[in-house]
A and B are shown apart, each in its own frame.
Chain A
């Protein structure tokens, strides 16, 4: 079960991206997951909610597009800008 390490890498990657965009909250993360990546979808979704707690991704959705190759790629984030949270 190395999916938790994978999830943690995804969260690190997304958090860096959030910082680059001046903060905010991630509502969804889009992932491309290949059948040959050696990573199991269910195990990712299982650990997602807990791993996101206390980060900019807390409460976010993990949206997985399954492909046939080896892909394991964070495609995009849906980001709510920080100032919009205040209003």
Chain B
């Protein structure tokens, strides 16, 4: 017989390994009662500044917080975040442009999740690749800064589609760079109708109350769901 190839059906998601692991992580987070928030953006949109402030404020409010932070190289971000006195771990990805569930799992190794209320994961600065990888988080924030222009959502629709909340940062610079907030909001709506959007400036403090209220409400809702499901 000639070597006629035969068709072998596979029907498997290429990212199945990551998805299965992310699901397991999410279950582990829920069992430990920790709420997990991830942040994605371009490099320089202000993830680390926002996170440093968030960790400091939440700690002051009595929450037990920690952060994982991903970068291709250096531990600079971990050092910056450590100023908040929260436990911080840097994930150095080498040449890899995103975090995946494996990396998160490995980084969590030495931590006892039951000692935490909220865990933050700061992804590598990149609006493309992180969109393919579920990290087991409960809430994904996508940040865009006013200096990047209003059309970011139109250029990178996929990441806006996988995120839960859009945060427009560096609002203190909006006037200087002639940022049009209305257009930006319309663009977000165009790629993701109904997406929760808020704007803030870590530097001036504008919009921070709103931001913390949103995080608090998400954390509370999750905590209630978990305690209800346990009571059942």
Contacts and interface: CB of A to CB of B under 8 A. Distances in A.
A12 B5 CA distance: 20
A2 B158 CA distance: 14
Interface in B2-39: 2-15, 17
14 contacts: A2-B129, A6-B15, A9-B15, A9-B17, A31-B14, A37-B132, A72-B13, A74-B12, A74-B14, A75-B9, A76-B7, A77-B10, A78-B6, A84-B2
B114 interface: no
Nearest to B5: A78
A49 interface: no
A2 B72 CA distance: 13
Contacts of A10: 14
How many of chain B's residues touch chain A, expressed as a range?
20 to 34
A17 interface: yes
A36 B161 contact: yes
B159 interface: yes
B14 A80 contact: no
How many of chain A's residues touch chain B, expressed as a range?
20 to 34
A66 interface: no
A57 interface: no
Nearest to A35: B158
Given A74-B11, A80-B3, 9 more contacts: A2-B96, A5-B96, A10-B14, A17-B8, A72-B14, A73-B12, A76-B8, A76-B9, A79-B5
Given A9-B15, A38-B131, A79 B97 contact: no
The main secondary structure of chain A at its interface with chain B is mixed
Which 4 pairs between the two chains have the least Cβ-Cβ distance?
Answer: A2-B129, A84-B3, A78-B5, A38-B131
B7 A78 contact: yes
Contacts of A50: none
A17 B6 CA distance: 13
Contacts of A45: none
Contact of B14 (A9, A28, A81): A9
B12 A2 contact: no
Contacts of A5: 96
